[in-house]
Structure 1
């Protein structure tokens, strides 16, 4: 066993056993309530600089699925070659790396029970240098985070834990020296350095410019399934570069950090709205659209992170069970139509748990956004129809612009 301790900035300490990499890591402690999908969670760039606490008791029972094009291990081709791809299929990763700063679990499964697994969770975390701690009373920890709010923390394992006589005050001081998530500008740390293209499945109907603010792999797949070729572009992309591609729509992805720092992306969104290009935003993209429309944003006490959050679609009255990962929200009035620089806008979705704004729509522009994750990685598929709504916007926009309708 490797001794480890999780220390919160309020001085609370939780002792346990280290797994994955050995050493020290810091981040914002947040809890995620999903009972499945830990691999998708760990590889979601939106979790940059966050230490994720899993509320599901046992974690690791499905191992790690590297899949095609990754290091599939000795059972699947050492270099992820044809054997690994044929046997294991597409990876469960949502990006090419684990982005969480650390991982906290109660009961770490001693071995995976999954024919697709190419490694255990601890093995993959160790390979990527991610520090974890197991044996923690995650129920008590989650209750503390719900009561006091998300806070900075550190995981100290091995020699860093210091043993029984360790000076807790010194560990707390190290935690308190870390930067807060409020005011954090993290887009540049997760966006792609170079653009790339994800082709449409079958007949190509539309092309989209997807601005990578921390995009998940399943989003271009969802677009591709609808006949959309996606140009995934860096966050530094300009509206001139977008229009030069002749795309039918613009997509703003999920991502980490404080939306109050995203001034350049807000300006790009305003340029896209001014050009009347159909636009769809998810998560961080929802917050960016909100700011472009003149609304403010704020930090939630402990955020929404899980795959069972109830959201109401105000247009239909339908309640969606949805996947969430956000610590910030848009400050906009629910039930009102607001005049903005780009015409009328309103809240289109809201959370039934606490009334948080979960989506916006423009009434005089072809633009809408949601705070949750209709790409369902991981999570339910209730909101998948929102990609179809985006397709409808682009079809309408193509007709209005005089192009041949798809």
Structure 2
């Protein structure tokens, strides 16, 4: 899927200013002081040892490409890079239990930068807007952020600000990171070849991932769970693909993810709506979307909902209802498709499929239709699932497939239920 198409600003080496500001003694006094922040970085490899913000600033300015800068733990303040290197420059923590920590990140017209095992820490200040964005990637290419923690903050007990935002960038890889305590975790648009793999996202008020105008998006092997919103204020989607900027997206793959309400609030799970746009406009119709092998435990009708898409495949997903206080159809997740062409829906486990009216360019087959409302009716949950864990008791859900069930006979649903998470 990777097509390696770069923006013109990305391929031009830029001898622009690289800034690393010292930590602010007052405004950021409580940032980067949480001893519980640990990262997934491996044991430090060979590289230049960095102990202070001034040493890091000097090392980045001298870098020609190919360097590895290994940072001691501590608060390094704001990291701003405006330079495209011919080979990757890696900035990483020396130890996972004592990561280098940053209160701001600005990668602007940067290229070939890898950030590994770092902490990005935001602390709420009175007056900060929900949309405050301390960590961003703009007009950059070949950027990797891995094994890091984006630690947000609470305002009145719920998450605040945006965890990471990108715009106008290509070949961006967000790998094995943790995002927590945010209004929105990862958002971005106008990008090419964007990968989010192996991330954990939780304690989010609104969107876990929200994108628009992406050509080449891979969302794979992530775990999103336990969202918490403000009643009558927040609209929650675990993943949302939008057209709000007037741009379609293409070549989207969403696979092998676990979306779990846990002990949190219900959300829309995978939502690719019209954004109020005209779906008869070919320039606004998404192209080539695959949603495959995901597990969804949720309590909203929008389990997988897709509008205005050509070449859409939804296959082998397990979409499972979790009860909440409000009952009724709005609480039962299903597959909802509208205004789409060349559609395949096969081998899913789901309560129902809306949108299929015998269209000649649709294939709908071998889906296991399940329900938790009538014990005497076909597809009742107790005959289809083994309940290994439930959210209120365990903080997460884990439903296995019962032998001789309809799910087993059709070989339907995600393979993840065979191992996730306690039976690995």
* Structure with higher strand content: 2
* Structure with higher helix content: 1
Q: Which has the higher contact order (CA 8 A, sep 6+)?
A: 1
TM-score using structure 1 length: 0.27
TM-score using structure 2 length: 0.27
